[in-house]
Structure formats: C-alpha cells, structure tokens
Structure 1
Amino acid sequence: MKRFAALFNAIDQSTKTTVKVAALAEYFQEAPEEDRIWTIAIFSGRRPKRAVNTTRLREWGAEVAGIPLWLFEEAYPIVGDLAETIALVLPAPDTETDHGLTHWINALRDLSQVEEPGRKAFVLDAWASLDPTQRFLFNKLLTGGFRIGVSQKLMTRALASATDKDEAEMAHRLMGDWDPATTTWSHLILEDDPAANASRPYPFYLAYALEDEPQKLGKPTDWQAEWKWDGIRGQLILRDGKHFVWSRGEELMTDRFPELARARDFIPDGTVLDGELLAWGDGAPQNFNALQKRIGRKTVPKKLLSEAPVILYAYDLLEWGGADLRQTPLQDRRATLETLCASLPDDAPVRLSPTVPFDSWDTLAQTRTAARDAQAEGLMLKRSDSPYLTGRKKGDWWKWKLDPLTIDAVMIYAQSGHGRRANLFTDFTFAVWNGNDLVPFTKGYSGLTDEEFRKITAWVKKNTQQRFGPVRQVTPHHVFEIAFEGIQASSRHKSGVALRFPRMSRWRHDKPVQEANSLEDLNEMLKTYG
C-alpha cells in the first residue's frame, strides 16, 4: 500500500500532466504486476464493492478517535469526504504493515462474507497499521467510492511509456469486459489475447464543441454533416458468432437491448459499428424520453420492448471482415457502411444514420435550426478524409449543438458541495411561480465561477430560514438562468416536469424575484419541446 500511496500523492499534488504520466509510468514499471492490474482497474472505475456501510464506518471512526458521534457528524460535511474525515480524526498508527494493494483488495472482497464483529475487528486493525494517506485510500476502497483525477488518456500514455507500446494500442487493450481478479499484466497489456479481443470495443473518437463560426473550417466540400442524435452512443460488435453492445462509458449493455441480437442474422462476423442507440417508432427516431424508459433496466419486459423498441442508428464502420478500418478515410468507411445498410431488411435493428446535405455553411446553419424537429441536439461536422482516432481530438470532428433552452428560476434551497468545495454552497434547488406560490422543479450544481459560489455561500449563511439536515431553506431573493437540453413530463416531480442536463448559465442580478418564469411557461415549453 505504501507504493500505491506514494503514487497517489505524486498524482494528487501536481497539476502537470507530465509529472502524473511519469509517476504512473514508473509505478507500472516497478510495482508488483498484480498491483499494477488493480491500479489500472481502480483508475478505470472497476472498484471493489462496498464492504461496510457508511453508518458503521462513521460510528467506528468516532469510537476509535475518542470523540462523540455528533462531533464527527459535524466535521464530516466540513471536510466533505467520509474517507478523508476518518483518516483525519484517527490517532497515529501503533503498528506498521508492508502489505501491498492487492492484499487489501482481496481482503476487502472477502469481507462481505464475515459477520459484523469480524468486519469491525478487521477495519480497526487496518486503521491501526496504516498511515493517514494509506488510511484514506483504504477507506476509499472500503466504501467503493474511489475516484481520482486520472483520465483514461493519461493512463494509456503512462502505459505506453512504461511498455514502449503504441498509445492507441494501450487504449484499445483497456476497453472491454476484463476482470482484474482473473486477468494478468501479461494478458492485458503485453500478449495478444484472442478471447478478450472477441468482445473488446474500440476506444471511441470524441468531438470538441464548435466555438467559432463553421466558415473557419474551410471549404464545405471537405466536410460531412450529420445530425447529432440525443441517444446513447454505442458500438455494436459482431465476432465469433456473438454480438456485444458497448456504451461510450465502457459499459457492456448487450442484455439491455435484446433487439440487437437479430443483427447477427443480417450482418457478417468481423463487423464493428459505431452509432447511436435510439428509441424508434413510426419510421423515425423518438425523443430521449422514450429511450429513458429503457435506461437502467437489465431485463426488459415485452410490453416495454413493444412500446420503446431500440435500434442502432449507425454512422461509422470501424471493422469490416475482421479488418480494422480506423485509419481508412471517413468517406471510404462511409461508402462501405452505406453498402452494408442498403442490404439490410426494413425490420433490421440497424439502420443508416443519414448525412445532412449542404452546399454552403449558411445553408447548413439554417438546417441546424430544425434539429429539435428531427429529435437531434444539433449537427456533427466531420472532415471527409479523417481517420477514426482515439479519445477527444481537435481538428477533424466537431459537434455544433443548438443553444440550450433556458428559463429564469428562483433559488429556494442550498446545500454544501463535496471535496474542495465542501465549505461552499454549490448545490441548489430552483422554483418557478405557480400563482403566488413557488414550485420547485429542478436542481443545479454547476455553471458558476468559484468567486460566484463564494458570494452566494456568504449570502446563504446570512439568509437561512430553516435547516433540514445538510439542506438550508433560504429567503427567495436570487434569480438564476437555468440552461437545459430537454424537458419532459414527470409524475415524480411536484412541478410535473423534469429537465435534461440542467445547469446554472447565469446569475440574474438584474431580475427581481417577481419576474422569474412560471410553471405555465414550463408547460408551454413542454408542449413545444417535450
């Protein structure tokens, strides 16, 4: 654990990418191979399941620290992180251990089978033998909440440096459904593993938002335009007589979309398609509300399969006949994809996402204004000769989204944030007018600067009306412009509506509370955009 703690400190204490990459590369060269695998897994989000509930951890932490539980509970929201709070209040360790990361993870995985007295004894013994940083990391693993600022790109750069292999190859190897408990460093990083290759997706190519006018991209004839669909980005993989569906977030979703199994009847083995998973009805994509009924369901009842059938709207071909096409120009990949989709029957679960024709940037700008009518968020612009790269790259792919919908709302509740913002109020509940009453309808957590968060925090402390645990009810006084991507009816919300991706876009110092929008305004938006 000492080596892993030293790595954590090196990464946590620097903002320089080069320093982080160097620290990771050194670790991947020198740490035991089993610890390297678990480090990759942890930084990739493959965390052990929670072994002890947080209520017990708070009680045990207060007990070992010799402080009353109420005092611990008061300190917790100030620190903003349970693992860190416990690490800070515990006394100095009275022993020392040199167990590695894998030892602790294996012990935590076995802990779920132990009765509570045994779990408590194990946790207290661990706290007594670990220094503060190691305790913090142990607590993170214990709660299943380990998150640290290591991007997939940073990790693949470090692995490439440590192994003298290509960075894109490293990114590809880390994709897929590998298990740190059963794989080895050699199988995952060094050797070719045909079994893993069958289900492994390619790293997704991600676009940057277009900030300048599209005219700066050059001649329109060099570019392909497509609708930016509001669904779930995914890859459909057909290899070894099986099919696999992966989300952009590296989640295997094959069982959630059983309709796509029929793709094996029409599409040959050795094919990988990139596209958007969309609810489909009446010969066209449906809005995100229809798809949302399917999200989070691991099994889908027949009724829902009938009400919200899903297709893959394919817009790129990454593998064909078992050959990797990513370095082939987009226009050639697209031509092969069009030929493939033209051969599919009308009821196939895969369809071709059409391109958007245009002869000038002005024409395309006019077309873009109709994106919501097409159930899209805007447009994608892709250079016709572009390869399919790994991760987010500037130059060849751009997303040209519509401006968000906005509404002015009144802040009525505030809650402090976490981590570095634990001492600031950053999580707010907003309301609109319904007659003379304010009706809550959404929450917002982002969009303000640090200075604005400090100002609103000072105001909240002086204008709290009531406290409900960590939540404070405040005097209705401040109006904020709330930006969002979509709106839908919701029986779970008192307002009857739910917003998609709400955030604070502007603090309306110029607008009095009485001029905030109303529930009637929201319902009109629901009629238009819902």
Structure 2
Amino acid sequence: MRRFAELFEALDGTRATGRKLALMQAYFAAADDADVAWGLYFLTGRRLKRVIAPGRLRAIAAGAAGIPDWMLERSHAHVGDLAETIALLLDDGNAVPSERPLAQWVGALKALRDADEARVAERLTQWWRALPRLECFLLNKLLTGSLRVGVSAGLATRALAAAIEQDENLVAQRLMGDWQPDAGLLAQLRAPPEAGTIASQPYPFCLAAPLEGEPATLGALADHLVEWKWDGIRGQLIRRGSQHHLWSRGEELLDGRFPEVEAAAMALPDGHVLDGELLVWTDGVRPFGALQRRINKQKPGLKLLREAPVVFLAYDLLEADGADGRAMPARDRRARLEALIAGHGGDATPLRLSPLVAATDWQRLAALRAEARSRGVEGFVLKRADAPYTRGRRRGVWWKWKVDSLTVDAVLVYAQAGHGRRSNLYTDYTLAVWDGAALVPVAKAYSGLTDAELTEMDRWIRRHTVERFGPVRSVRPEQVFEIAFEGIQPSSRHKAGLAVRFPRIHRWRRDKPAAEAGTLDELRGLLEAVRSAS
C-alpha cells in the first residue's frame, strides 16, 4: 500500500510523460505479482465497486473525528474531496506507513461489503487512525470507487511491458477485454507470443488524431482512404472458435444487446475480426439519440428491435482466417474486407460495409464535408492507404476531419470541485441559458480553460457563492462562457427539454454580460436546423 500511495502522489505531481513512465516502470519492477496486477488495474482506469455509500461514510468519519455532521460537511465543501477531507481530519501526524501489500488491502475492502454496519465503522475507524494521511487518502479513494490517476491506459501498459521485458503490442492485446487482477495475470502476460490470446479477446483499437491544419498538408488525396465519420458506438465484431463476440471501444462486452448484429456475425467464416460502428439504420443512419434507446437494454424487446434496428458498419478487417492482418497496408485490408462483406453481408443485412468517399481533390472533399450534418455524420476519417492498423492514437495513420462544433454562450450557475490534482479547485461547471427571465441549466463542462484561468475562476467562485448544497456551490450568475458541443437532441430527462453532446468550454466571454448570453429558443433553433438538415 505504501509503495502504491507513493506512486500515486508522484504521478499526481508531474506532467512529464517520461517521468510518469519511469515511475510506473519502477513500481512494476519492484512489486510482487499480485500488487502489480492490482496496480495496473487502477492505473488503467478500472475501479472497485463501491463498498460504502458516501452518506454512510461521512457519518462514520464524523463520529471517528468527534465532530458534528455539519462541521464535516463544511470541511468537505472547503476541501472539495471527501477522501482527502477524511484523511486530513483523522491525521494525527504519528502514524507509520503500512507494509501491508496493496492486494491484501483490496481484499480487506471487499470483505467489508458483507460486514454489518457496526463492523464497518469499527474497521474504518481503526484503519483511518493507523494510516498516514497519504495512505488514508488512497484507501478512501479505493473504498468509494473514485480513484482517478492522471495517466493513460496506454502509458501504463507501456511501463508494464518494459518492466516485464515483453512486447508492448502483445501486452496491450492481452489486456484487452475482461481480465482479472490476480497473481496469475503476470504469468499470462509473460507467456511467449505463440501462446496466443483467448478466443473472445479483441484487438487494441486504432484511433484517429484530430486534423488541426489544412488537409492538403497530408499530401496527395489519392494516398488516403476517405470514409464518413459515423456517430455511433465503435466496436469489434469477433468470429472465432465457432462463437461470436461484440466488444465496444470501452472494452465492454455487448453480447446480447444487439441480437440482429450477432445473428449476422454467425454467417461469417471462423477466424475473422471486424472493426466498425454500431448505428441505428432505417432509410439511412439515425441520430445517436435513437441508438441510446438500445445501449442499456440487455435484452431488447421485439418492439424496440423494429423501431430502432441496428447495423454494424464495418470499416476494417483485423483478422482473417485466423491470421492477424493488422500489419498489412490499409488498402489491402480494405480489399479483403470488401470481399468478405460481399460474400457474407451486404445492404440487406445488419452486416454492412462503410462506403469510401470519392473526390478528385481536397477542395471537392471540403465541399462534401459541408454536407456532413445533413448526412447524419460528423465529418471524415482520413486513413493513410499504406499504413498498418496501429494501437492507439498514432499521428499520421488516421485523421479525423470533423465539422465545426455548435456553440452557444451560457452562464455559470453551479460549480463543484474537480478530481485528482484539481480536487482543491472548483473546476466542474454547470452552465445555463435564458428561458425568459429564468436561467435553465443545459450543460456541464469541466474542460477548456487553462490552469491560470481555472485558478482565477476558483477564487471568483469562492467569493461569489450564494448557496451550498453539499459539494456544490451556486454562484452569482455573472460569468459567461462560450460552450462548444458536437450535437443536440430532444431529452425528456432534462428540464430544458434538450441535451447537448460532448460539451466543453470554448472560451471565457469576459466581454459579454450575463444578460446577453444565449437563450433556450436559440438552442431550439439549432435543434431544428440539425433536424431539417438530416
């Protein structure tokens, strides 16, 4: 536990990628296999299922600290993070670091799920008083399932591969999907390449980098494959061992949720893996909102299957006849994919081919890009025709050339503390637009400002707080931000009657008074414009 706590603190204190890599590699090299597995589990963004509800945790902490509930709430509001608040309140400065392994602490936390309330309070109080502040903080983060570490899963994988002297791509592939953080994990990762992977395991996804300059800087258009950028769920469709599996890019197994796609997969020959997009498709592609009706349905009913039929639009072939084809040039993989779909899918089935976009030059392609929203897509993906299928976001392989974002000016009405290194700053904002004389929340945003701007806003928020609701502060409606978002759709779950997709702060409108911010009618107009275009 001590080693992982020290690693967590060191990672939180640096932005240098090389330094983070070295820190993780040193941890993996020194820890035993069980601790390596759990350390990797947390570093790659996975979390324990919450052991105790925050309300119950606050009550136990107040009792352990000998303070009334309201005082703990005030302390929490000031600090901004419950785990840190408890660690500060219970720190007497005399505790010694724990040599108990991380894996054993995880086991102890899991055991609390079956304990009665008195036992939970007794154990937590004992641990809080015995651990130094940093380890107490980490324990609370694990306890609540809210641990966030400022490293990417790819960087953690790279560090582990270096520590165990194994090929990075092979380690990344073996960590795809559902793996268990136990001592046996390291044996699987150290196995030679010929040992292979399990039949249901997907490949690491190739990701597109945003195109920031003019597309002509990429070279000749003829050297690229151009496809529409679809607004669906990225996934891999696997047909191996006479079985089929469907994985999302988030490494979630989707088996059973899209039975029409899985039935089509059964027509594929064994030993094939396709990369593509799940979309609702009737007379054409439907907006993402239609797909949302299907996402959380483990077993969709016949009515929903008829109203929102899903297709898998394939755009790459990663494995054919049991052989990994990712090293082949994109144009060759595409030719093999076209032949596969022609023989085992097609437009009359749920297994279809993502079409290539034909244009004679970049200027003509730019004109087609202007039609993206009317086609229900987000722009283009530009794939270098001679490039292999790589892992992660490697610049120069795939580029995404998206349409310009939608924007609206909105007023800051609520603020909440961030996470990780931002846990002491109010960085998570709720923004609203005018509906007559009232402000109606329409988005939550926590990215887009510089560190200096965030610090300035934090000071402003603390000075202009109107009310407090636990960790949330309402503020004077004076600050205006232009927010950018990728889409807009009706929503019965939101007071505004609509929801925006992927909102983020585009700029701080210091020049604009709150009275001149955007309106709900303005957003409704954007919604109608998007609808009419499609």
1:236 aligned onto 2:237: yes
CA contact (8 A) 1:201 1:246 kept: yes
Q: Do the aligned partners of residues 520 and 17 (structure 1) sit closer, same or farther apart at CA in structure 2, a change above 3 Å counting?
A: closer
Cα distance, 1:68 vs structure 2: 3.1
* 1-structure distance, mates of 2:27, 2:417: 36
CA contact (8 A) 2:35 2:102 kept: yes
Cα distance, 1:389 vs structure 2: 0.5
Aligned residue in 2 for 1:27: 27
Aligned residue in 1 for 2:302: 302
Aligned residue in 2 for 1:172: 173
CA contact (8 A) 2:346 2:353 kept: no
1:54 aligned onto 2:22: no
SS at match of 2:198: helix
* 2-structure distance, mates of 1:80, 1:263: 50
* 1-structure distance, mates of 2:232, 2:280: 8
CA contact (8 A) 1:37 1:184 kept: yes
Matches within 5 A, 1:239-258: 239-258=240-259
Aligned residue in 2 for 1:117: 118
Q: Do the aligned partners of residues 490 and 14 (structure 1) sit closer, same or farther apart at CA in structure 2, a change above 3 Å counting?
A: closer
Aligned residue in 1 for 2:160: 159
SS at match of 1:206: coil
CA contact (8 A) 2:80 2:416 kept: no
CA contact (8 A) 1:277 1:312 kept: yes
Q: Do the aligned partners of residues 199 and 82 (structure 1) sit closer, same or farther apart at CA in structure 2, a change above 3 Å counting?
A: same
Aligned residue in 2 for 1:366: 367
TM norm structure 2: 0.92
Q: Aligned letter for 2:27?
A: Y
Aligned residue in 1 for 2:74: 74
1:394 aligned onto 2:395: yes
CA contact (8 A) 1:481 1:504 kept: yes
Moved more, 253-262 or 422-431: 422-431
Aligned residue in 1 for 2:268: 267
Q: Do the aligned partners of residues 29 and 246 (structure 1) sit closer, same or farther apart at CA in structure 2, a change above 3 Å counting?
A: same
CA contact (8 A) 2:425 2:455 kept: yes
Aligned residue in 1 for 2:288: 288
Aligned residue in 1 for 2:352: 351
Cα distance, 1:387 vs structure 2: 0.2
1:147 aligned onto 2:155: no
Cα distance, 1:47 vs structure 2: 2.5
SS at match of 1:112: helix
Q: Do the aligned partners of residues 498 and 59 (structure 1) sit closer, same or farther apart at CA in structure 2, a change above 3 Å counting?
A: same
1:503 aligned onto 2:528: no
Cα distance, 1:467 vs structure 2: 4.4
Q: Do the aligned partners of residues 301 and 467 (structure 1) sit closer, same or farther apart at CA in structure 2, a change above 3 Å counting?
A: same
Aligned residue in 2 for 1:4: 4
- 1:14-37 deviation per Cα after TM superposition (whole angstroms, max 9, x unaligned): 333333322322332332111111
- 1:138-176 deviation per Cα after TM superposition (whole angstroms, max 9, x unaligned): 222211222212322212221221222211111111112
* 1-structure distance, mates of 2:33, 2:463: 54
- 1:179-237 deviation per Cα after TM superposition (whole angstroms, max 9, x unaligned): 22484320244356979521111111111100110111111111111101111111111
Q: Do the aligned partners of residues 60 and 519 (structure 1) sit closer, same or farther apart at CA in structure 2, a change above 3 Å counting?
A: closer
Aligned residue in 2 for 1:197: 198
Cα distance, 1:354 vs structure 2: 0.4
Aligned residue in 2 for 1:403: 404
- Percent of aligned pairs with the same amino acid: 51
Cα distance, 1:95 vs structure 2: 7.0
CA contact (8 A) 1:432 1:516 kept: yes
Moved more, 17-26 or 103-112: 17-26
Cα distance, 1:319 vs structure 2: 0.3
CA contact (8 A) 1:93 1:127 kept: no
Aligned residue in 2 for 1:453: 454
CA contact (8 A) 1:280 1:311 kept: yes
Moved more, 127-136 or 463-472: 463-472
CA contact (8 A) 2:239 2:266 kept: no
Q: Do the aligned partners of residues 434 and 143 (structure 1) sit closer, same or farther apart at CA in structure 2, a change above 3 Å counting?
A: closer
Cα distance, 1:243 vs structure 2: 1.1
- 1:429-458 deviation per Cα after TM superposition (whole angstroms, max 9, x unaligned): 333333444433333332222333344444
Q: Do the aligned partners of residues 496 and 213 (structure 1) sit closer, same or farther apart at CA in structure 2, a change above 3 Å counting?
A: same
Q: Do the aligned partners of residues 422 and 96 (structure 1) sit closer, same or farther apart at CA in structure 2, a change above 3 Å counting?
A: closer
Aligned residue in 1 for 2:211: 210
- 1:344-389 deviation per Cα after TM superposition (whole angstroms, max 9, x unaligned): 2544321100010111000101110111111111111111011000
Aligned residue in 2 for 1:222: 223
Runs of 5+ consecutive residues of structure 1 not aligned to the other structure: none
* Alpha-carbon RMSD: 2.3
Moved more, 104-113 or 399-408: 104-113
1:434 aligned onto 2:435: yes
SS at match of 1:148: coil
* 1-structure distance, mates of 2:430, 2:153: 33
Aligned residue in 2 for 1:15: 15
Count of matched residue pairs: 529
Moved more, 160-169 or 424-433: 424-433
* 2-structure distance, mates of 1:364, 1:510: 37
Cα distance, 1:462 vs structure 2: 4.6
CA contact (8 A) 1:77 1:422 kept: no
Moved more, 417-426 or 223-232: 417-426
* 2-structure distance, mates of 1:78, 1:466: 13
Cα distance, 1:9 vs structure 2: 3.6
Q: Do the aligned partners of residues 310 and 474 (structure 1) sit closer, same or farther apart at CA in structure 2, a change above 3 Å counting?
A: same
* 1-structure distance, mates of 2:275, 2:341: 13
Q: Aligned letter for 1:213?
A: E
Matches within 5 A, 1:93-104: 97-104=98-105
* 2-structure distance, mates of 1:31, 1:473: 45
Aligned residue in 1 for 2:321: 321
Cα distance, 1:83 vs structure 2: 1.7
SS at match of 2:199: helix
Q: Aligned letter for 1:406?
A: T
TM norm structure 1: 0.93
